[in-house]
Amino acid sequence: MALYYDIDDIMMEEELISVVFQVGANGIGLLDPGSETNRIEQGAKVDLPFWLAHELYLRQAVGVQLPAAYNQKTRKEIQADAACVDLKSRCPYFYELGCMIAPLVRDRTIGSFLLYTFVSRYKEILSKAHRTALAAVPKFFPLLTREESHLFEAAHSSMAAFKKWRLGGSRLERASVLGRKRKSIGEMQTPTL
Amino acid sequence: MVCVTKVAKGHHGGGTTAATEHYSCHNEDGDVLEVSSRDVEVVMVKIGMSCDGDGEKMKECLGSDELSVLFEEKEPSLEEVKEAFDVFDENRDGRFEGFGARSFPNYKFHQRILFVVYHSIKMYGRRASQLVRELASSESGQLTAFNNDLFDQVIKECNEHQLQLQSLLRKIQDDGLDIQTTKNADHFGAVAHHLSLIRNKRCLMAYMHNRAEIIRSLRWKVGPVLPLEIQQKLSYSEEEYFKNHSTALESYMLELDLDLTVDMVPPKDPYIQVRVLDDIGDVLLGDQSASLMRNSVHSLKRTDAEQFISQGLIEEFLE
């Protein structure tokens, strides 16, 4: 319930999972683009968002297949050089979804695989976050999953705060919600439609 | 890459003067495939859209109105349709294969329509997730304009799910089965619709909740009066919410006789040097009035200056 309003949790559950229907289902043919009638046949393979796949799995209506992000190919790539693997394009919620999917596919190796991936990428993220210039977005940033980019930003901003503290500066600042760019008075009065 | 073009043709007869939209899809080979209402009808029936089987009526409501409405709505945009096609067109050669596509005589074309319709309907929480994605992609603490259109569409979608859910439940009852214990195909269809409803609800609630959080923080950061550019981003009920929150906070602070919105760290000096960035004019600060003209430098009480700084009207002047 604590995560009910959590945006990241909602977006994580939107990730598509391949499932195989163990039963037929009427009235939801729309979910299966290959379906010719308004029903899904037993044995049909359909991509469903995780929130639907999970609930249907609990009702024993579908069998869940391991998403490609956790297959052997990805594991080999991670083993070769974890920091260079583009996890974001594979699944932006790699770790969160991995934890959710592990009990569904009954694969006991996923847990240790996720841990290994995180640990080997963590050091790289942290050291790069501390070293990169403040305004620059580093080259490897698009490779990071959502969780990793939060981590990166946290490290980055704490470094920035440290530098500011050391050099001294104004405590009071313009509210960030007003945006970075200052607008002239004329612009402010004409509503942007 | 597949292009979709919209050709409007004048339509007379059938008592309607609305322009009929013919959707023609053509790929790089140049073969043009037009979509008639008959084809749409076939597909609509397949995906279970309600249709009373009256051919003439169907022609009118889908051929001229609904399909064009689908395209006149903000979505699917041409980009989205293309995207949908690209998903289908796995090897990017402008042809669609797989998905049992060959079972139609005119399969290429059916698949296309199916995809246009499929992506414009966007049921099963697709739209609602777009709404949440909007929040996720905006910078934290920043407000985007309230997406009234999408919000209403999600609610309409909920109604559609509700109708389908009820019709499935009715069917179970009509078959003389017990709703509590039956686990047939109708049951699982109903479950999927029910889950979609719950999902939509969660997305809508999260959208409102997260916005409300930002709106509350505005009162603390910006002050009781919001600049116009932020006010335009709020919906009517959000404006009311902001006013109510502001009033509640003010009456509480009045009771405490303490301004809670100022900086929590005690200042070293109660006065602060500031530079004025905009012409503010004469303002009453405590017991004295000051004329804050652009680029002038003043020494103000810190508590007086804070609200102007957070509004971006003056800045701290550091030597």
What pLDDT sits at residue B28?
41
Start-to-end CA distance of chain B, whole Å, equals 60
Where is pLDDT greater, at B47 or A129?
A: A129
Residue A165 scores a pLDDT above 90:
no
To which residue do tokens 């960035």 refer? B277
Q: Where are the beta strands (DSSP E) in chain B?
A: 3-9, 20-26, 32-35, 271-276, 281-285, 288-292, 297-301, 314-316
A72 touches chain B (CB under 8 A): no
A173 touches chain B (CB under 8 A): yes
Secondary structure letter of residue B267 according to DSSP: P
Q: Which of A4, A33, A55 sits opposite B202 (nearest CB)?
A: A4
Instruction: Using alpha carbons, list the distances in angstroms from residue B70 to B40, B57, B74, B131.
Output: 13, 18, 8, 19
All residues of chain B having their beta carbon less than 8 Å from the beta carbon of residue A19 are none
> Cα B295 to the chain's mean position, in Å?
42
Where does residue B223 fall: left (phi above 0), alpha (psi -120 to 50 degrees), or beta otherwise?
left
B100 touches chain A (CB under 8 A): yes
What pLDDT sits at residue B138?
82
pLDDT in tens, chain B (319 residues): 334 444 333 333 333 333 333 444 444 444 444 445 555 555 555 554 444 443 333 333 343 344 444 444 444 444 454 555 455 444 444 444 444 444 444 555 555 555 545 444 457 888 888 888 888 888 777 888 899 999 999 999 999 899 989 998 998 888 888 877 878 888 888 898 999 999 999 999 999 999 999 999 988 888 888 888 888 899 999 999 999 999 999 999 999 988 888 877 777 788 888 888 887 777 777 677 778 888 888 888 887 788 788 777 888 877 6
What pLDDT sits at residue A98?
92
Answer yes or no: pTM beyond 0.80. no
What pLDDT sits at residue B237?
93
Interface probe, candidates A1, A15, A88, A177, chain B, greatest B C-beta count within 10 A: A177
Flag whether the ipTM exceeds 0.90.
Answer: no
Q: Write the DSSP assignment of chain A as a string of letters.
A: -TTTT-HHHHHHTTSEEEEEESS-EES-GGG-TT-SSSEE-TT-EEEEEHHHHHHHHHTTSEEEPPPGGGSHHHHHHHHH-GGGS-HHHH-TTHHHHHHHHHHHHT-THHHHHHHHHHHHHHHHHHHHHHHS-SSPPPTTGGGS-HHHHHHHHHHHHHHHHHHHHHH---S----GGG-SSPPPHHHHHSPP-
Min distance A89 CA to chain B CA atoms (Å):
15
Where is pLDDT greater, at B287 or A144?
A: A144
A6 touches chain B (CB under 8 A): yes
Minimal CA–CA distance to B170: which of B159, B182, B158?
A: B182
